[in-house]
Structure 1
Amino acid sequence: MKILKTAIICVIVAINISINDASAWGQTGHRVTGEIAEKYLTVEAKAAIQNILENQGLAEISTYADEMRSNPEYFWQEVAGPFHYVTVPLGKTYSDVGAPEEGDSVTAIKRFSKILKDSESSKADKQLALKMLVHIIGDLHQPLHAGNGTDRGGNDRKLKFFWEESNLHRVWDSGLIDRRQLSYTEWTVFLAAKITPEKLKAWQTTDPLVYIAESAKIRDKIYPESDDLSWQYLYKHAPTVKQRLSQAGVRIAAHLNDIFSD
């Protein structure tokens, strides 16, 4: 009986991973967004976050939501999956379609922000909420996490990236970033130096509908004509990757500054 139960859990995990094969930005990208966000936190936000996390930084927790995908607990297998993305069909806006019954990134941001603002929330709940919120805001800045509803956010678009089998989603999660062979701290130094006061002011919004509209617009321009991608595709889209990572970091900070402003 115990063996059968274990087998069933493994099948459920495998199915869930197959359906939700979308871990935006990969490990490096998410850590970049968290490290950039640290630079723009208010004193109040820094103190509140330190009290919740106990010697962990935003870069460290930014990948938690992906690392827990194989956890067999109910929350990770039956609840958290849809929180990583939204669906916006071509020609529609998020306001046109709204969230599905199981929720999405927008409902998750509201859910976890509420937990962090509630003085009655337990420390454990706040830790989870903070880890999820940092990750989800980062997710929404990866263009294919505002999927068109036809190909699982580009996961079904099979192709080769620098002569290796891949798919479009994976290229945007990690391929374009990892090709530079930079650490997340190197990425952060290079990107943060270029965030001018003007860009900071323009990007500081806590409205996820803005991030979604931006991602959907970019998404519709990144589907390649060829299935063999290499230097030309990298050259064309590297500036967009850099901007989306930078914007995500600024906006993670903006959300947390707002939440902990009291």
Structure 2
Amino acid sequence: MLKIVAAVAVLATSPAHAWGPTGHRIVGQIAADNISGKTQAEIAMILPKGETLAEVSTWPDEQRSDPDEYWQKTATPWHWVTVPPGKTWAEVGAPPEGDAMSALTAFTKTLRDPAASQEDRALALRFIVHIVGDLHQPLHNGRGDDRGGNNFKVEWFGKATNLHSVWDRELLAGNELSFTEYTDRLEAHLKPEQTIAWWTADPKVWMAESIALRDRIYPEEQGAQLGYSYQWTWRPAAEQRLTQAGVRLAAYLDMVFGE
């Protein structure tokens, strides 16, 4: 298995999975509905028959249960970036162990390498699909002081949790929709001019948007009681980020396979 970043020890306090399975699958499906025919063919030659972008979108999170050192240490930092308030990723850069942006760059190089094995290209593609979703989740663009909101405790409709989990799952779960139902709902409201406006393969744009949103979504204090008001305010933003992630994933894959 290709190991593109040196293994490092990582504390067991890594951020939770971004978006949860439903969110990641929505991103994968929206991308699948917007990629070019050439990109579809390229993907079909890389992934095992029958695997879809929606299916592989959750694979890097699922593999985190594997006890192998690659999944427990090496790949752990590839799900987020850390950018303190007032900074950009370009100013901060990746830490020595790597992050989502450095992993995206390395996996893109592998995907474009005609000498890479099919196994390595499939690994790279699965990670790219997942990382694009992660970078659109505001709390996977962490401030560096609270593990991407995992240490920011809140109550969600009376249940103790944290801000990261609210954005990963709770904002979407209240609709009780499957990922296909949610995708259909979001795509029904996706306007052609939005697809055009959002069509960018530049991760720095995605991260800048996520950071701007991140700096607005924190409650005033720890232990805040969150419910209908927070849901009403921020669920549309979460849904927009998912839709944008799907469009951007399509743009990114078209760029990778088009050059």
Of stretches 67-76 and 149-158 in structure 1, the one that deviates more from structure 2 is: 67-76
Q: After TM superposition, where is structure 1 displaced by more than 6 Å over at least 4 residues in a row?
A: none
Residue matched to 1:10:
none
1:114-153 to structure 2, matched below 5 A, reads 114-153=109-148
- The two structures, once aligned, show a CA RMSD in angstroms of 1.3
Verify: 1:228 aligned to 2:222, yes or no: no
Once the two structures are TM-superposed, the CA of residue 101 in structure 1 deviates from its matched residue by 0.9
1:91-170 maps to which residues of 2 (within 5 A)?
A: 91-170=86-165
Structure 1 residue 73: deviation in Å? 1.4
Q: What secondary structure is seen at the aligned counterpart in 2 of 1:260? A: helix
Q: Aligned equivalents of 2:89 and 2:117: distance in 1? A: 32
1:69-88 aligned within 5 A: 69-88=64-83
Question: Unpaired segments of 5 or more residues in structure 1?
Answer: 1-14
> Is the contact made by 1:109 and 1:136 (CA closer than 8 Å) also made in structure 2?
yes
Partner of 1:28: 22
Q: Which moved more, 1:22-31 or 1:217-226?
A: 217-226
Report the Cα offset of residue 78 of structure 1: 1.8
Q: Deviations over 1:168-192 (max 9, x none)?
A: 0000000101111111001100111
| Contact preservation (8 Å) 1:86, 1:99 | yes
CA contact (8 A) 2:35 2:254 kept: yes
Q: Distance in 1 between matches of 2:10 and 2:66?
A: 11
Separation in structure 2 between the aligned mates of residue 181 and residue 116 of structure 1, nearest angstrom? 36
SS in 2 for 1:136: helix
Number of aligned residues = 248
Following TM superposition, by how much is the alpha carbon of 1:214 offset from its aligned partner in structure 2, in angstroms? 0.4
Distance in 2, matches of 1:261 and 1:50, equals: 15
| In 2: Cα distance, 1:17 partner to 1:183 partner | 33
Change (3 A) 1:109 1:79: same
Distance in 2 of aligned mates of 1:215 and 1:65:
21
TM-score by length of 2: 0.93
SS of corresponding position for 2:161: strand
Residue 21 (structure 1) shift: 3.0
State the 1:20 CA deviation: 1.3
Cα distance in 1 for partners of 2:82, 2:189 equals 31
Deviations 1:188-223 (A, max 9, x none): 001112221111111111111111100010001000
Distance 1:101 1:17 in 2: 15
Q: Is the 8 A contact 1:191 1:246 kept in 2?
A: yes
Q: Select which of 30, 34, 37 maps to 1:40.
A: 34
